[in-house]
Structure 1
Amino acid sequence: MRPLFLSIKGFGPYLDVKISEQDFKKLNDSRLFLISGEIGAGKTTLFDAIVYALYGTTTIEKRDPKALVSHLVQHQANLLPEIEFKFFLDGKEYRIIRRLPFKEKGKKLSLWIEGKFFSDKEKEVNSKIQSLIGLNAEQFKKVFLIPQGEYRKILLAEKKEREELFKIIFDTFLFAELEEFFKLSLKELQNQIKSNLDRENQIKKLANINELKELEDQIKETKKNLSTLEAEVKNLTKERETLSQEISTKQTLLSDLKTFREVLQGLENLFALENEIKQKENRLELLNTVKDYLPFYEDFKKFKQEIWKVRFKIKDLSAKKIKLSAVLNTLSQNLSQVLSQIPEIEDLKLKVKELKQLEEKLKEKTALEISVDQLSKEVQSKDEEIFSIREEIKKLKQLLEENSEKLNLLLKIQSWLNEEKQIRQLLEKFTKLNHFLSKKPELENKVANLSTEIEKLEKQKQEFEVKNLALTVAKALEEGKPCPVCGSTSHPSPITDKNFTEELNNLEKILTEKKRDFEHYKTQFQTLEIRIDTLQTELSPYQEEELKEKLAQIEAQKSAYPELVSQYQKNPMIIKILEGKIKEQKNILSKKETEEKDLSLALENQRKKLLLSKGRLEELTNSLKALLTEEISLEALKRKIVTEEKKITEFETQKTDLEKQINSLTNQKTAIEQDLKNQKEFLQHLLTNYKAKVFKLLPLKRQKIINRWDEFEELKPEIGKIQTLEAEIKDFYQKKERLTAEKEKLTQKLESLGLKNLEEIEAQLEVISQNLEALTQKKERLELTFKRLNQEIGIAYQKLEQLEGYLKEYQELGKERERLEKRFGFLSKLCDLISGKNPKGISFHSFVVSMFARTIFQRANEYLKEFSFGRYTFVEDMFLQKNVSIEVFDVYTGTKREVKTLSGGESFIATLALALGTSDVITYLFKTKPFESLFIDEGFGSLDEKTLEKVITILLGLSEKSGRIIGVISHLEYMKEVFPLVLEVVKDRSLGSKIRLIQK
């Protein structure tokens, strides 16, 4: 992956910043660069932004991305927190935009591939990113951004702490959970076996036995008792069936006798009711006949009443007709008198019309006079308002001109101050350069002197070593034996017994101290030379005297505007405030000019309207002068019109009322005449029907069924009882028929008993009841015995079922325990092996971590060999030991030693090798393509300048060899001086951090 573009809005300490494609190109071309800035400026937030854009999460575990929404964005109406990131991967360009949830706005996400829209669905985009990169967010962080401090902890930590760090890096918690799973499973098996044994003991206690054979004997004894009880029940069942059959026969006979008795009694009761039923049959016949003729009677009665009503109505209508004719004659005479006034009224209407036209003109004239007066006042008011606005516009223009002039001066002052600041910084660097140049000869002399001293001391040391060696040889010389140096067997003048070891040790201490001083001053001298070269390169375009002259000119320019300079220095925001004020004044001026233009246009329209109104007023005045012979007011004219209209209305009302009355009465008379004719025709129709109904009813009188018409009214209430009478009669004959049939049937059935009357039946009933009671009592005693035996059988079955259940459960528990104990043995061995009770004494989790670590250290060795120029390699066979400490093999000494013994610089390159090895292994394990970019976070604070320079050279070589772009993150200020390209994050609490690229 190679980053191409990054835009951050409202995220962390950033309000709105971009790293453009041109900036990323410079970083790519440089290969090695520094990301610098104060603590909290937002260096690591750049990677938070990239990780959030790709995965929707942050580089810090459990940190909610919402917490990264900048407080600066709260008052920015048009700015929403979002990250836009473009990168190049596997030959294609990808662009992703991910917006954070903010206020009422939800999350938003979209992905483009090669400039074409791919998706805005979170699931699809996340899946695509995962498949592209091949790593999840946690793995990506470990490969893309190397936390140098964490890897240093691994090297220097104790075994237990190191294992925990390895677990975090390799994410091997699953294997730890596996070990815990086996322990819990083993514990659960132990509990199951214990529970099994407890249940076996519980069953023995419940069955009241000591051994399984006792339980089997109890089951046999219970089965034997059960067989005996079931045989007794079988015998009792047969006896009960015989007894039940006999009781049933007796009960049937008793029932038949009771029924026979009831039938005979019923028939006697029915014979007593026969006369009453005959009377009801005669009454029913009369009521049915009356019911058939009742409709004719009802019609007869109705027609009779209608005839009387119609005759009365004909008489009433004839009287009304005579009265109406007299009233109509009088009204017609009155209408003739009123119609004679029509010519006079028509003249009056014409006069009123003329008066109304005159009234309208007078009204229009009055309204126009008011309108003209009002328009004149409005024109005068608008004139005054326009004058006022024009004065305001004039003042605003003057104020705007003053503020614009002030703004131009402030911008000049800002430019002068910025230039002054830059010049002063450059002059400070000239001062620093002069100081360094003055210091250089002194350091150079110290280095040269120390070099000469060390050379002398080395010669002295060599002399002492030779003497010490000679002393050792002299001590071993024996007369007659050859000297190992010269071969002589004679030793006339051997070296004295003086010991040079102490002098040699003292000399070595002095030499070590001198070498340390030499290295110290040499490093200082080299650092000084680098700083001098850096400053000379930076200051080469400038001349110190020219800068001083320029500074004097700026001071002179500033002195011309002391007040404004002071204002700007106290409040640099004054320019923005003034710009805002000018913008506001321009808006007000624009509004006022628009308002003045609108008012002028409105005034012109009002003037035109006023001229038209005056012209119409003059025209009306002339017209009224021609019409009026004398002066008359509008009120007087209105009163005259009302008087004349009143006369016309009175005439119209009188005429209309008379016409309405005549018309209404004529219609009433016509209606009465028509109604009178209809009523007479209806009377003839009623009389015809009345005679027909009387003819229908005459047979009843002739047959003497009724003697008078009123009898219909008397019998009418009883007609509703016809159904009741019919039902009573029908019920009587049905009962008689049923009881007669039952009597015949029972007589045949009980023929063997020879029963002839109720007394004999009652006697027989008494005998059978006594027999039945005796049999019932016998059966009840039998049922009690039967019930007792069944209860005993039930108890025996229950006991047998319980004992067999105990036996079955006991046998199953035995089989289950055997299975559990077998599994427990296997799982116990497996658990011991996984938890570390094995020949190596290492748990499975530690073994997995060790394998990961061994793989990483094998890869890290390739880097460590290169970084240390072949001197150091990690010892790879140490990870399966119980008490492991990370060691390196030192080629110079041919021995192993702990990493803790390495110097600061050596420790750093070991840490860096481990970090790069981890990154490579994770990339390989997850089958992802190597990243083109790599970032190293902090960890440079422990390096001296010489080691730092060496590390940078190593990193640059690594970058060129691997083709990677390497970014180093650090807050240390002096680091900026040794990197050729710096991406600086500048902290600003009020406006948000900014980013600038510094290329040397």
Structure 2
Amino acid sequence: MKPLSLTMESFGSYLKKTEIDFTKITEPIFLITGDTGAGKSTIFDAIVFALYGKSSSANGKEGADFKSQYGEQKPVVTFKFIKNNKEYIVTRSLREVKKTKNGVRMVGTNTLLSLTLSDGTEFLGKVADIERKIEEIIGITKEQFTQVAMIAQGEFIALLRAKSDNKKEIFRKLFHTEKFAKLIDKIKEKRKEIKDEVEIAENLCKKDVSRIKIDDEKFLNLQNAIIHSKSINIVCLEQILEKAETHLTDGENKKDLLVKEVAALKQERDLLKENLTKDEELKKNFDLLKSAELNLNELLKDETTIKNNQKLSEDILKSYELKNTYDNFKNLEDKINLLKKNLANEETILPVLKKKLSECEKELIDAENSNKTENARLQEIIEKAKSNISIFDELEKLENELKKALIELKFEDERKKKTEEDREKLREETEIKKKELEAMKGIDARREKLNAEEKELAKFIDDGKELKNIEEALNKLRENLRISQKDYESKKAELNKLENEYKEKETLFFDSQAGILAKNLKDGEACPVCGSKNHPAPARFNGKEIKKEELDSLSEKIKKARDAREFFAKAAEKNNTSFIEKEEQYKRKKEEIKAAVLNKNIELKEDITLEYFRNFCVNFQRSIADKKSVLQNDEIREKNAKEFIAKSEKTLVDLEKEKEVSDKKHLELSQKFSSLMGKKESAEKSKNYDDKKSAESALKDAKEKMNEAETNLKNLRMRRDIVKSKFEKSETLKTEYKENLPKEEKELIKVKNVYDMLKKKYDLSEEEWQNITNAHKREDSKTLTEKVRNFDREKSRFMGSVATLKNRTEGKTYPNIDALKNTLAEKDKILGEKEEELSGFKENFAANKDAFESLKKEKKSREKILSLYQTYDNLANKLSSSAGGGYLDIETYAQRYYLSEILSYANKRLQKMTDGEYEMRTVSDKEANEIRSKGGLDLLVHSYTTGKDREVRTLSGGESFLTALALSLGMADSIEKRSVAISPDILFIDEGFGSLDTNARREAVKVLKSVAGKNRMIAVISHVSELKQEIDTKLQVKKGAEGSFIKWE
């Protein structure tokens, strides 16, 4: 995967749209430099965010965390890359910034993602589908990508310098082996859960053991031992089960015996109950017979009264029947008298109504004949008035239409005239604009020239900024050179002073030594210095003794001073070299700017300075601005002229069409006006009234007279109908009365005969039945009859009961119930005691059996859980190295496995870097198991020069860097080997250069260039300024008030 470009907007420290074009990089290695926090590492974060939607590190950044703090726009990252010679574009952003109810601004965590494929089409699908497609194209996961494409050099250096106890955490971070630690934690957690289950199972077993009730001393001792033990003894538990099983077998036999005894007692008790029931039934029959005989005798005492009630009930019914017939007779008699009275009344009023009806009909006929003649005259007036009103309406309408037509004609004349004037004026203005447009030819050429000058100005401004940066750097280097030279002179003087002091003290030392020896010389004895036995002129002791330690101390100071002088000499030399290089760069840039200024045909009267060049750029910018202003005005005029001409030509065509329409409409309006005038003259000739008001008045009078006559006729007809109705009703009633009177008289005779027949039949006089009906209600007959029936039913019932009970008790004596009850109670008591004994035994037996069965089940469950616990316990102890026997924990074992795999790749690179001198090793498996986690992850460096191993912590800064670099590259090689995908063609290395001296730094850059080869580019992320001298291509990252920005150098 080779990157082509990366575009960031509102992402991290980058607010404004920032594009990094990787195709500009021609060198295999380039430097991403800038101050701490400027946004160097954010570049790699942006690539990982575009591809995977997450942060490159394990800091958990997601979604809103990537939004720039400098603005409210949504973060957007676009990454263009090539994979297998196919170009892809990924754009990822977050949803718009939203505002919550409490005013807090938030960014949605949902991602907006698009993927443009190599054929230019966009891959369609949900975000998850697109992310899977991107990972399929890249070929590796986010974790693999961050390990292959980003070398965290600082982490590997920290690993080399870490103590044994801290290496495990660093390896965990590098190899992501936390899953093994989590696995051990899960197994331990599961072990604890199972241990809790074991305790629960044992408690359940103890509970079941405590529930078994057996009165046996040995059993009770076993039971007590299990209940109070911390852990159950399986032997004791087996003995408990054995004794319980024996006890249950014996209990089954005893239970069967008790059941038989209870059954025999129940049979005896039931027989006694049966006899008692029979005797109680016999006693009941004797008692019922006595009671029935008493009730029958008491009932027969009322038999005479009941018979009298039966006769009275019959007389009441007969009397009310006579009363009904009598009432019917009286009603018919009253009805006949009323019919005779009404008939006489109708015969009186009928002639009067007939005369009045004749008068009403004559008056109605006379009024109808009179109205017929008047209505014909009034109708003629109405028709004439209506016709004239229509004529006046038509005339009014024609008058309005004539006025309207006249106005329209006048309007069309005026509009026609104005249209012609507008056409002529527009033609003149169009010609003027065309001439203006002709005069403005050449604007495009002026625009191109101005764009070129603007680009030239931008180049001048960039050159000015670059010249300023070079001059500032030159001044800084000049000051550094001055300081380093001053420091060198100071150290040089200090060294000279120390050397002179040393010479003086060394002379004094030797002189004093000679003086001290001379004091002890004797003639005839050999001198310890020269061996002579004659001492003609021995050295004299001056009293100042210089000790050897003082000279040694001074010699050490001289050595340090000499080292310091050499250090500052090298520093001065380096600063001088940098100053000369920067000065040459400054001169070249000035010459380049001078050539560019001269190319503008400007005469230079003085040397190129920043102030002069700044003024030149300002003047050039003003000139461009003036030209741009004039050009913009001309462009606006040109645009306006073109728009005016196009619009006016269209308007002229529309005006021509409008003229044709206007001429046609003018002709139509003239013809319409003539037609309306003819209609108006014709209508004037046909009217009969002077005006419309006169016609309407005549119409109103005629209608009122017709309505008045019609109302009069209506009243006469209504009056005639009322009289006629009364006459017809009177005739009908007279006829009905005459027909009904004979019928009612005949019915009266018939009812009278029935009444007389009933009195005779029932042998009741009129006075007798009236007395009965006055004394009794009709319902009294029903009540008396019911009493008679009840008496008969009770009599029959009592007589039947007496006969039945006599039959049941015949030949039998009255039984002794109390004696039998006492015998039954004694038998019930014995049976109850035996049943209670059986129930208690059953309850105890069932409880013991239930506890026994439950204990067997819980014993099996405990054994199963205990076996599972032992499995997890052994597994946890072995995986966490807490079982003894010299095992490594699984995470350390996995880390050693990963480390050995990485070392196989890393040593190949390290040996190339160190010309085969060094090789990294780990302690052996045996040693690792013996020392376990204390030193199982320790790294050693074997030197082929000395043939010895030493700890990596003893390496120098440069050696540590190369070793860490070899490790990091070895890790990347390992991941690439395991992954089917091709590794990315860009490699980021983050920091780790700060501890290197100049030579080590140069060597490190040389190694990185060799690692890059021809097809891979390496991006070194560092704030170490000295790297700028080692790496030519630099991406400068700076932070401003509106976020970070970049610049290639």
Mark yes or no: TM-score above 0.5. yes
Distance 1:69 1:950, change over 3 A: same
Q: Say whether residues 1:244 and 2:273 are aligned partners.
A: yes
The residue identity in structure 1 corresponding to 2:153 is Q
Distance 1:947 1:747, change over 3 A: same
The SS at the match of 2:1013 is helix
Q: Say whether residues 1:965 and 2:962 are aligned partners.
A: no
Distance 1:251 1:372, change over 3 A: farther
Paired residues of 1:872 and 1:888 also in contact (CA < 8 A): yes
The residue identity in structure 2 corresponding to 1:233 is V
Distance 1:750 1:54, change over 3 A: farther
Paired residues of 1:855 and 1:921 also in contact (CA < 8 A): yes
- Per-residue deviation, 1:835: 3.0
Q: Which residue of structure 2 aligns with residue 542 of structure 1?
A: 592
What is the rounded CA distance, in whole Å, between the counterparts of 1:575 and 1:731 in structure 2? 140
What is the rounded CA distance, in whole Å, between the counterparts of 2:627 and 2:393 in structure 1? 75
Distance 1:728 1:969, change over 3 A: farther
Distance 1:523 1:738, change over 3 A: farther
Q: Which residue of structure 1 aligns with residue 67 of structure 2?
A: 69
Q: Which residue of structure 2 aligns with residue 795 of structure 1?
A: 840
What is the rounded CA distance, in whole Å, between the counterparts of 2:620 and 2:745 in structure 1? 134
Q: Which residue of structure 2 aligns with residue 979 of structure 1?
A: 1031
- Per-residue deviation, 1:852: 1.9
Paired residues of 2:296 and 2:798 also in contact (CA < 8 A): no
- Per-residue deviation, 1:163: 0.8
1:25-40 to 2 correspondence within 5 Å? 25-27=23-25, 30-40=27-37
Deviations 1:683-703 (A, max 9, x none): 999999999999999999988
Q: Which residue of structure 1 aligns with residue 179 of structure 2?
A: 174
What is the rounded CA distance, in whole Å, between the counterparts of 1:752 and 1:12 in structure 2? 117
- Per-residue deviation, 1:232: 5.3
1:437-586 to 2 correspondence within 5 Å? 539=589, 542=592, 544=594
- Per-residue deviation, 1:927: 4.9
Deviations 1:239-278 (A, max 9, x none): 3211221233345556667887899869979999799789
The residue identity in structure 2 corresponding to 1:3 is P
Paired residues of 1:410 and 1:564 also in contact (CA < 8 A): no
The SS at the match of 1:889 is strand
- Per-residue deviation, 1:809: 6.2
Q: Which residue of structure 2 aligns with residue 651 of structure 1?
A: 702
The residue identity in structure 2 corresponding to 1:876 is T
Paired residues of 1:153 and 1:162 also in contact (CA < 8 A): no
Distance 1:815 1:430, change over 3 A: closer
Paired residues of 1:36 and 1:982 also in contact (CA < 8 A): yes
Q: Say whether residues 1:153 and 2:158 are aligned partners.
A: yes
Q: Say whether residues 1:336 and 2:373 are aligned partners.
A: yes
Paired residues of 1:328 and 1:662 also in contact (CA < 8 A): no
1:680-829 to 2 correspondence within 5 Å? 747=803, 751-754=807-810, 767=814, 771-772=816-817, 775=820, 779=824, 782-783=827-828, 786-804=831-849
The SS at the match of 1:914 is helix
Q: Say whether residues 1:101 and 2:81 are aligned partners.
A: no
Q: 1:854 aligns with which of 900, 904, 929?
A: 900
What is the rounded CA distance, in whole Å, between the counterparts of 1:974 and 1:724 in structure 2? 139
Q: Relative to structure 2, which stretch is displaced further, 590-599 or 163-172?
A: 590-599
What is the rounded CA distance, in whole Å, between the counterparts of 2:950 and 2:983 in structure 1? 33
Paired residues of 1:5 and 1:86 also in contact (CA < 8 A): yes
Q: 1:845 aligns with which of 866, 882, 891?
A: 891
Distance 1:856 1:32, change over 3 A: same
Q: Which residue of structure 2 aligns with residue 491 of structure 1?
A: none
Paired residues of 2:481 and 2:575 also in contact (CA < 8 A): no
What is the rounded CA distance, in whole Å, between the counterparts of 2:598 and 2:725 in structure 1? 135
The alignment-based identity, stated in percent, is 20
The SS at the match of 1:140 is helix
The SS at the match of 1:968 is strand
Paired residues of 1:33 and 1:979 also in contact (CA < 8 A): yes
Distance 1:280 1:434, change over 3 A: same
Q: 1:863 aligns with which of 898, 906, 909?
A: 909
Paired residues of 1:33 and 1:983 also in contact (CA < 8 A): yes
What is the rounded CA distance, in whole Å, between the counterparts of 1:910 and 1:793 in structure 2? 91
The SS at the match of 2:64 is helix
Deviations 1:845-869 (A, max 9, x none): 2222222222222322222222223
What is the rounded CA distance, in whole Å, between the counterparts of 2:798 and 2:81 in structure 1? 112
The SS at the match of 1:340 is helix
TM-score (norm 1): 0.64
Paired residues of 2:470 and 2:585 also in contact (CA < 8 A): no
Q: Say whether residues 1:2 and 2:43 are aligned partners.
A: no
Which stretches in structure 2 are left out of the alignment for 5+ residues? 99-107, 224-239, 325-334, 416-420, 422-428, 430-435, 441-445, 493-547, 682-688, 760-769, 771-776
Distance 1:741 1:575, change over 3 A: farther
1:204-223 to 2 correspondence within 5 Å? 211-212=218-219, 223=251
Distance 1:370 1:772, change over 3 A: farther
Q: Which residue of structure 1 aligns with residue 971 of structure 2?
A: 918
Root mean square deviation, CA, Å = 7.4
Paired residues of 1:186 and 1:828 also in contact (CA < 8 A): yes
Distance 1:780 1:18, change over 3 A: farther
Deviations 1:388-422 (A, max 9, x none): xx9xxxxxx9xxx9xxx9xx999989975872562
The residue identity in structure 2 corresponding to 1:248 is T
What is the rounded CA distance, in whole Å, between the counterparts of 1:706 and 1:136 in structure 2? 128
Which stretches in structure 1 are left out of the alignment for 5+ residues? 292-301, 384-389, 391-396, 451-498, 629-637, 709-713, 715-720
Paired residues of 1:335 and 1:659 also in contact (CA < 8 A): no
Q: 1:58 aligns with which of 51, 55, 58?
A: 55
What is the rounded CA distance, in whole Å, between the counterparts of 2:4 and 2:319 in structure 1? 121
Q: Which residue of structure 2 aligns with residue 634 of structure 1?
A: none
What is the rounded CA distance, in whole Å, between the counterparts of 1:47 and 1:343 in structure 2? 111
- Per-residue deviation, 1:161: 2.4
The residue identity in structure 1 corresponding to 2:181 is A
Distance 1:359 1:128, change over 3 A: closer
Q: Relative to structure 2, which stretch is displaced further, 659-668 or 937-946?
A: 659-668
The SS at the match of 2:916 is coil
The residue identity in structure 1 corresponding to 2:709 is L
What is the rounded CA distance, in whole Å, between the counterparts of 2:879 and 2:585 in structure 1? 60
What is the rounded CA distance, in whole Å, between the counterparts of 1:440 and 1:658 in structure 2? 140
Q: Which residue of structure 2 aligns with residue 295 of structure 1?
A: none
Deviations 1:334-356 (A, max 9, x none): 56335435555666556655665
Paired residues of 1:52 and 1:58 also in contact (CA < 8 A): yes
What is the rounded CA distance, in whole Å, between the counterparts of 1:647 and 1:141 in structure 2? 111
What is the rounded CA distance, in whole Å, between the counterparts of 1:722 and 1:561 in structure 2? 140
What is the rounded CA distance, in whole Å, between the counterparts of 2:308 and 2:639 in structure 1? 124
What is the rounded CA distance, in whole Å, between the counterparts of 1:913 and 1:580 in structure 2? 62
Q: Which residue of structure 2 aligns with residue 294 of structure 1?
A: none
Distance 1:199 1:332, change over 3 A: same
Paired residues of 1:325 and 1:669 also in contact (CA < 8 A): no
What is the rounded CA distance, in whole Å, between the counterparts of 2:126 and 2:945 in structure 1? 59
What is the rounded CA distance, in whole Å, between the counterparts of 1:706 and 1:521 in structure 2? 171
The SS at the match of 1:212 is helix
The SS at the match of 2:592 is coil
Paired residues of 1:423 and 1:547 also in contact (CA < 8 A): no
Paired residues of 1:204 and 1:210 also in contact (CA < 8 A): no
Q: Which residue of structure 2 aligns with residue 875 of structure 1?
A: 921
Distance 1:831 1:543, change over 3 A: closer
What is the rounded CA distance, in whole Å, between the counterparts of 1:122 and 1:852 in structure 2? 34
Q: Which residue of structure 1 aligns with residue 41 of structure 2?
A: 44
Q: Which residue of structure 2 aligns with residue 386 of structure 1?
A: none
What is the rounded CA distance, in whole Å, between the counterparts of 1:587 and 1:874 in structure 2? 77
Q: 1:426 aligns with which of 467, 471, 485?
A: 467
